[in-house]
Copies of this chain bind each other. A is one copy, B any other.
Amino acid sequence: MQCVLTPDTEGYDQIDSIATGASVLVEGIIASSQGGKQKVELKVSKIIVIGESDPTSFPIQKKRASREFLRTVAHLRPRTNTFGAVARVRNALAYATHKFFQDNGFVWVASPIITASDCEGAGEQFYVTTLISNSAEGGSLVKDIPSTKDGRVDWSQDFFCKPAFLTVSGQLNGETYATALSDIYTFGPTFRAENSNTSRHLAEFWMIEPELAFADLNDDMACASSYLQYVVKYILENCKEDMDFFNTWIEKGIIDRLNDVVEKNFVHLSYSDAIELLVGSKKKFEFPVKWGLDLQSEHERYITEVAFGGRPVIIRDYPKEIKAFYMRQNDDGKTVAAMDLLVPRVGELIGGSQREERLDYLEGRLDELNLNKESYWWYLDLRRYGSVPHAGFGLGFERLVQFATGMDNIRDTIPFPRVPGSAEF
């Protein structure tokens, strides 16, 4: 807020000690502003400096600091216009998420963060352990790490008495509650130990994973569309000033783009039709386009940005080979009831599926993929006892923040980003 001081202002003599980063208490009268930049300003009758700030050492100088630099002062960057706006819009998206699901009778379930369950599948997971430490002088000696007779890490001596990881998804746990309570959603952190230094990946990110009982893929697609339209509408209505800021400074036209999401129907397209569309486009893509291959980001963006002029697109019925074991087989024997929701700029924002609720099909799929059925005993129990058709989806919350704010790099959508080589603050 613009604050106007005059020599009559009480505390006017302190004005020289007020620099960027300082905190002050001001009293005064709100009045319409003469300047064009703001509607109102504060005519200050009294000012008190609460916390000074040394202008020569304050890390964020008035000149525009680069995003890269601001990540090194992540404790101060929320004081800038951009990161303050990101924080508020992020907050509004989170609250709108809760409101949407609660208003529709979904129950929030805390899926576990640490898991020793074998069925999440190995690879790209962080291990959680108390077998090593850096608290003793210099940290653990490798030779002192508990080992078995054959020299391997002795997990039985670890905190959980077996290997434990950070979760990569709460879905399987969410299904246990959906098949007990009906519709549920999770909203919590998930993790990937993926060594990719891109503007689209984080090692720690928040996921929203609703699961609908007595529901098929159409219900799932309808829920995903309503959800996205609801939260986007919510920020357009409740974060006007911040959205204007993004529209002016971060991505011109973002408000129009978001309005389109709210107002236009989403395009529905089968995977097979999407392949035909891409082949027919005669466009040169970096990655090959062929039935059976997964769609890459360039394909997804072509479909939503070019082929359908910025409308969100839902692609459904993917080849079973490129999708997860738990997705429900379609009658054609080749595809599964999976769907991806694509949006301009970001590409895939939501991925979901109807889950295989038929015990024999699910066991068959585990066999085909050489997965160990024993590990999935509790997941299979959901199909053994009172199985119901159910479906759900997952949404990476930071991707949504990117989409809604126009921020280029996903590291700028979460307060303290965790990426390879960095978990500061």
User: Which A residues fall within an 8 A CB radius of B?
Assistant: 21-23, 25, 50-54, 57-59, 73-76, 78-79, 83-84, 87-88, 90-91, 94-95, 98, 102, 107-117, 122-123, 126-135, 138-143, 145, 147, 150-153, 155, 159-164, 166, 173, 176-177, 179-181, 188-189, 191, 193, 195, 203-204, 206, 214, 357, 378-379, 381-389, 414-416, 418, 420-425
Whether A142 and B153, one on each chain, are in contact in the complex, defined by CB atoms closer than 8 angstroms, is: yes
Whether A420 and B160, one on each chain, are in contact in the complex, defined by CB atoms closer than 8 angstroms, is: yes
Most B Cβ at <10 Å: residue of A91, A102, A122, A381: A91
- Sort A-B residue pairs by CB-CB distance and give the 6 closest, nearest first: A51-B387, A78-B180, A122-B135, A116-B423, A23-B386, A21-B385
Whether B53 and A110, one on each chain, are in contact in the complex, defined by CB atoms closer than 8 angstroms, is: no
Whether B152 and A114, one on each chain, are in contact in the complex, defined by CB atoms closer than 8 angstroms, is: no
Most B Cβ at <10 Å: residue of A127, A141, A162: A127
Most B Cβ at <10 Å: residue of A152, A166, A386, A422: A386
**Nearest B residue (CB) for A164:** B423
Bound complex: CA of A160 vs CA of B424, how far in Å? 9
Partner of A173, one of B51, B142, B188, B425: B425
Bound complex: CA of A151 vs CA of B131, how far in Å? 15
> Which residues does chain B contribute within 8 Å of A177, judged by CB atoms?
78, 87, 415
Whether A109 and B415, one on each chain, are in contact in the complex, defined by CB atoms closer than 8 angstroms, is: yes
Bound complex: CA of A245 vs CA of B109, how far in Å? 20
Whether A155 and B142, one on each chain, are in contact in the complex, defined by CB atoms closer than 8 angstroms, is: no
> Which residues does chain B contribute within 8 Å of A151, judged by CB atoms?
141-143
Bound complex: CA of A162 vs CA of B176, how far in Å? 37
**Nearest B residue (CB) for A141:** B151
Chain B's nearest CB lies how many Å from the CB of A67? 17
Chain B's nearest CB lies how many Å from the CB of A25? 8
**Nearest B residue (CB) for A60:** B385
Bound complex: CA of A151 vs CA of B132, how far in Å? 13
Whether A113 and B204, one on each chain, are in contact in the complex, defined by CB atoms closer than 8 angstroms, is: yes
> Which residues does chain B contribute within 8 Å of A422, judged by CB atoms?
116, 160-161
Whether A123 and B135, one on each chain, are in contact in the complex, defined by CB atoms closer than 8 angstroms, is: yes
Pairs A–B under 8 Å by Cβ, sample size 10: A52-B386, A59-B381, A75-B378, A87-B177, A88-B107, A115-B416, A115-B425, A127-B128, A128-B128, A142-B142
Chain B's nearest CB lies how many Å from the CB of A74? 8
Chain B's nearest CB lies how many Å from the CB of A156? 10
Chain B's nearest CB lies how many Å from the CB of A178? 10
